[in-house]
Amino acid sequence: MAKALQDRSDYLDFERPVVEIEQKIEEFETLAKTNNMDFSEEINRLHKRRLTIIRDIFRDLTPWQRVELARHPKRPQSLDYIERIFPDFLELAGDRAFADDAAILTGPALLGDIKVMLIAQHKGRDMKESIRCNWGSAHPEGYRKALEKMRLAEKFRLPIVSLIDTKGAYPGIDAEERGQAVAIATNLREMSALRTPIVCVVLSEGGSGGALGIGIGDHVAMMENAYYSVISPEGCAAILWKDAGKAPEAAAALKLTPADLTGFGIVDAVIPEPPGGAHRDPDEAAANLKQHLISVVLELSRTTETDLLARRYEKYRRIGFYADLSSQGAPDSSPES
């Protein structure tokens, strides 16, 4: 193609055929408009071809390509979804302790006509936003703010919707001094017993404890091109092979895709993205997410509190793979004083 492709940083290598055909479609559309000619047949043919190309590429996506998609520079982020799904979002900052942390946005919102409490990690879509949101890496105050607002939700029985998108919790001296570990741990304990439904969705990056810190719920879903991992593929590769360049191998070894996590019983549902990924059609991605959230929240709202808490406990209690070599169950008594 004569026309230069978009800025390289805007697409991934394996997306090149998709970008090329999309540009071709655009050219025909412009041509049709400027010359007042009918190219609808050609354009329809190209659209069909585009879908075939996408299907062929996405059928055999490697785990690493999935990670690349999750980090795509054009991928919609929390605020993109909030604009489309929760126009009434009423942001309430305030951890009541230290500072506001814009890496996690919190406040009530309307999901259709259902009142919910929204907890959303946001990375930032441009430099200014990214600086404000610290690229989505929260400090302890972010996790504490989230807990404050989740308690508020519990008090008024608002279901909680938690949108996860972070590379990880902030790894800095100040975060350590203010108790990053205990802030996350407290959320894990409290969320496991919060008396209101919680739905979590990994939008893009589920980066270890930083993601889990707002990630305990009755229902955990992932967008189709998200990943969820105990460590970044680069970090894993640096440990295993002393070479962060081996991240693609590490991504495969870590089993971090939605399909893997569904298999482990960790993820309850995978939310489909439009062909080619959420960034090719953010409206459709948002519509899919909204539809999923509504059906899950309605279902959970019909569950009694006792059942809800028992099931949530059981959900996490049974995650794990080990061999029990005893024939009988666990011992149930100990010497009492």
What are the two backbone dihedrals, phi and then psi, of residue 231, each rounded to the nearest 5 degrees? -155, 155
DSSP string over 120-163? EE---SSHHHHHHHGGG---HHHHHHHHHHHHHHHHTT--EEEE
What are the two backbone dihedrals, phi and then psi, of residue 288, each rounded to the nearest 5 degrees? -60, -45
Q: How many CB atoms lie within 10 A of CB 118?
A: 27
CB of 136 to other proteins, least distance (A): 15
CB of 186 to other proteins, least distance (A): 7
Q: Residue 273: which residues within 8 A CB-CB, separation 6 or more?
A: 223, 224, 225, 284, 285, 288
CB of 272 to other proteins, least distance (A): 21
Q: Which is nearer to other proteins, 304 or 334 (CB)?
A: 334
DSSP string over 89-107? -------SSS---TTEEEE
CB of 235 to other proteins, least distance (A): 7
What would the two tokens of residue 137 be?
């890496």
Judged on CB neighbours under 10 Å (0-12, 13-18, 19+), 190 is middle
CB of 275 to other proteins, least distance (A): 27
Q: Which is nearer to other proteins, 115 or 178 (CB)?
A: 178
Q: Which is nearer to other proteins, 34 or 306 (CB)?
A: 306
Q: Which is nearer to other proteins, 9 or 326 (CB)?
A: 326
Q: How many CB atoms lie within 10 A of CB 275?
A: 16
260 contacts 103 by C-beta, under 8 angstroms:
no
139 contacts 180 by C-beta, under 8 angstroms:
yes
Nearest to 166 by CA among 237, 87, 219, 101: 101
CB of 267 to other proteins, least distance (A): 9
Q: Which residues bind other proteins (CB under 8 A)?
A: 169, 171-173, 175-182, 184-186, 188-190, 192-193, 206, 208-209, 212-213, 215-216, 228-231, 235-236, 239-241, 253-256, 260-261, 264, 266, 312-313, 316-317, 319-326, 330-337
Q: Which is nearer to other proteins, 89 or 227 (CB)?
A: 227
Measured in residues, the chain has a length of: 337
CB of 326 to other proteins, least distance (A): 4
